[in-house]
Every structure is written in C-alpha cells, then in structure tokens.
Amino acid sequence: MSFICSVGLGIPSNELSQPSVKNLVREIFTYSERLLPVFDHAMIDKRQFVVGEDWFKEKHSFQEKNDLYHRHAINYSLQAMDACLANKEFLKQDIPYEAIDLIIFVSSTGIATPSLDTYLMNERPFREDIARMPLWGLGCAGGAIGLSRAFDWLTAHPDKTVLIITCELCSLTFQKDDNKKSNLIGTALFGDGVGAALLVGENSTYLSYVKKVKPQIINTSSVTMKNSNSVMGWDITNDGLEVVFSKSIPALVQTFWKKHIETFLQDNNINRSEIYSFIAHPGGKKVLEAMEDVLQVPQEKFKHSYRVLRKHGNMSSATVFYILHEWLKEGVPEKEKSILSALGPGFSSELLILEWSER
C-alpha cells in the first residue's frame, strides 16, 4: 500500500486570458476565423505559460525550444518539489530531500539526456544512492501512470518514499507554421504546469509527518488500445514536436474508457455510487462531459477537474496533480473513495482507486 501525502505546484508566471489567446491566434493564423469558436467553447478562462505573448509570434527552432524547456523545466520543477516537501497545509513538518528513495520524472514536452531528474538532484540535497525512474512519452496519462508505478514500487518497498514530478511546458511545442486543425485546437486547450507529489509506503516513518486525511492507493489498472497510435501524440518534425490530436477522443470515452472503468469497478467490487469524487484528467470539456455521461453521476463529483481546466487549461501529465491538490485542500471524509483517471497516447487509459485515510 502507499499514501499520497503532499502535492506542490510550480505555476509559470506568464498568464494569458482565453480571449487574449484567441486574438493572438487570429493574428498568427489567417485561416483560423471559422475555427475560433473552439476557444469560446473550451470552458477555459486563463492559462499560464513559461514564455510571453510575443514569443508565439516568431518562429523558433527545435533547439531553441528545447533549450527553453530545459531551463524552465528545472526552475518550475524545483518550485513544485520545494512546495510539496514543505507544504504546511498537508504536513506537520518538512520532509528532507535526503528522505527520498525514488524520484520519478514525468514529461512529454521536451527531451534531455541525462534525464532532468539528474539536474534536479544537483540542485537539492538528494542522496547519491537514490533510485531514478524517468518516464517520457506518456502525455496526458503520465501523472496517473507515475502514481501507479510509485504504488508498485512502494508495495515492494513499504518503508520507502517516492517523489514524483510531472513537468509539461506545452507552449514550447507551439508550431507557428503548422496550419492543421489539431494545432489550433491544441492551442485552445493546452497550458504549462508542473506538479510534485510525495508518496510513502505503509511502513515509512514519514507517514507520521502527514497532517490531514490523505488518499491511500488501493489498486491500479492500465489498458492500451492496439492500433490507436494516431489518436494523440507527437509527430517529430524539423521544427519540433507537432501535436496529433484526434476528434475521436470523446467518442472513445463512450466505448474504450467505458469498458475499462466498468471492468475496473466490477473487479474491485465497487459500485459507482460509492465513489465520492473523480480526480479525472480533463482532456477537454467534451471528455469530462463524456465521462459524466458514461457514469451517470452528478457533475459535482468532477468539480475540481472543471475548475482546474478553467483556471489552467490542459497541462498534459501535470493536470491530475493540480486536481489532486484541490481535493487535498478541500479535504475528503475518511474511508470515502475516489477514482483518479487519465487518458493518453497509445491510446491508453489509467485508473486508480484511492481511499481516504487518517492513518
């Protein structure tokens, strides 16, 4: 068993309202007028970016974008890590960096070898014998999958601790000369964000550092649809990472995801009416609405998914950490259950059962 004890965020400093982004796109893409209503219907008020508005008006090389990714990813990951391990709202006392036994770094919006977790290790007093698990290419599902892999590792090492960082700087993948509809839709949805989560095993001495009722991961499930590589992901071009984003995703919620969630609940002897909340990655408004339709549950159970989408947009893998942060702040009664879910490239679905515990 493993417990999610704290979450910290690294929120970029450049904020643009959705109307501002819409006007920017109108200026950059002369063909865009008939597609601009997507900005109005996305249920997004504002987003945060690591670059300013003028950056999007110029063309940038893959190297320039990736250099910016490298620098900003380190900066905002450190902010999220520090906020997580010293979060007075969730912890009675700070968790020292020396206490971390495994660091998982999740990202899909830039590349680095050695992986960026090694750069983070140089900036904070991690032990040299720390285990490392960089995860790349999981897209929007990356945060949920990172939690699942931490759960697996802590089940094998119940006295250990794990720090997960989800870092997505989607703005730096923007392609000024990509006139495909998927690029414009991505521009209407995606923002930048970094999250960090602390997980500890059931025998860890650091479990006593936790202040509030916290979610315990009970079980996880992964499903990947074969021959679905074209649903979402990146095409790698000379200009960088070019978004692949299929309009079929909400429909796949009604088929592929529906089968997964129904099987998962049945296998764990849980009725959907028993679920207190859904920590659901909001791929977009239509994805959330499709999930509600599948489950036939009140929108209130998805409230923080909608709120994070409205305040930050879709931040790929980091988004579920922002939503988890909101549920932790609000507090969930002991013994209630939540489902954490995310969809990603593959096409894949990740589900976790969380039970809130005072232990």
CA distance 122 to 223: 36
> Burial, 201: exposed, middle or buried (Cβ in 10 Å; 0-12, 13-18, 19+)?
buried
From the list 5, 84, 140, 170, the catalytic residue is 140
What is the total residue count of the chain?
359
> What helix, strand, coil percent values describe the chain, rounded to 5?
45, 30, 30
Cα(132)–Cα(134) distance, integer angstroms: 6
Task: Return averaged pLDDT per consecutive 10 residues of the chain, 359 residues in all.
Answer: 95 95 86 79 94 92 95 98 97 97 97 96 97 96 97 97 98 84 82 98 95 93 89 81 77 91 96 94 90 92 96 96 97 95 92 93
DSSP string, 36-102: THHHHHS---EEEESS-GGGGGS---HHHHHHHHHHHHHHHHHHHHHHHHT-TTTBSSPPPGGG--E
Predicted confidence at residue 187, as pLDDT, reads 85
Q: Report how far apart, in Å, the C-alpha atoms of 64 and of each of 54, 68, 159, 167 are.
A: 15, 6, 42, 18
Contact residues for 31 (Cβ-Cβ < 8 A; gap 6+): 179
Cβ-based burial of 208 (10 A; exposed 0-12, middle 13-18, buried ≥19)? exposed
Task: Report the predicted TM-score, pTM, of the whole model to 2 decimal places.
Answer: 0.95
Q: How confident is the model at residue 31, as a pLDDT?
A: 67
Going by DSSP bridges, is the β-strand pair 275-280/348-357 parallel, antiparallel, or unpaired?
unpaired
Round to whole Å and give the CA distance between 313 and 306: 9
CB 110 within 8 A of CB 169: yes
State yes or no: is 170 an active-site residue. no
Strand partners, 48: 15
What kind and span of H or E run contains 354?
strand 348-357
Structure confidence at residue 231 (pLDDT): 79
